[in-house]
Structure 1
Amino acid sequence: MEKTRKLEDIQCSVQQIQTKLSKLEEERNQFSYVATEIIDLCQTNFIPYRELGYYPLSVKDEMDRLEDIEMLKRNEQLLDDFISERREELKKAMSKLENEKEELLFQQRRLESQNEEKEEKNGD
């Protein structure tokens, strides 16, 4: 009974980790989409101004814009690394759970076998 409860707790924990991982991947995809949109907007920033014949961005503004783009790329890489680490942790947790499950199943079969032996002895 206690082993079953422990197994259920472990399965619940795995499900929570999988849910969190899914949410992180969804957030990463949203972040990546927004970052791509921002980069595209930044890269096309001069087009309307060229048509008007002037450039409103100073060199400092352009440098700031480029730094922001680099920061977005670094943040995306950090997020990718974070998700990869969580994925590895999840794989390790799943492997550990599988091992525990196998151990519990082995113990269950052993207990069932012992019970059958006791019943046979009691029946004799």
Structure 2
Amino acid sequence: MKGILAIGLLILSNAFMTLAWYGHLFFKKVPWFSKLGLFGVIIISWGMAFFEYCFQVPANRIGFEENGGPFSLFELKVIQEVVSLTVFTAFAILVFKSDKLAWNYVVGFSLLILAVFFIFKKW
């Protein structure tokens, strides 16, 4: 249960992270945001990143094995990276509509899944 909760919180965290890191690239489509300077965009992105941390820190605390969770530090990091790329891909294709899922992305993501296998494999 703690593992599922940790992954769910990481998904929420990464949704805010994706908006904070990349959402501002699409501000030009919103008249009010298009007039903001770089400092204004940084402040808005920083505000969104606050919510990222509100989900990410508890996710790592709940999921970490030394706090009673099921994951080692390396496992948490690999989960976070896979979640991050999955959320980013969903946003890029469905929300931002800026890119298509090309074959080389699929191959790269498949290699990441292979990395997850090796990180989680108990030898």
What TM-score do the two structures reach when normalised by structure 1?
Answer: 0.36
- Return the structure number with greater helix share: 1
Q: Which has the bigger relative contact order, CA under 8 A and spacing at least 6?
A: 1
Choose 1 or 2 for highest CA Rg. 1
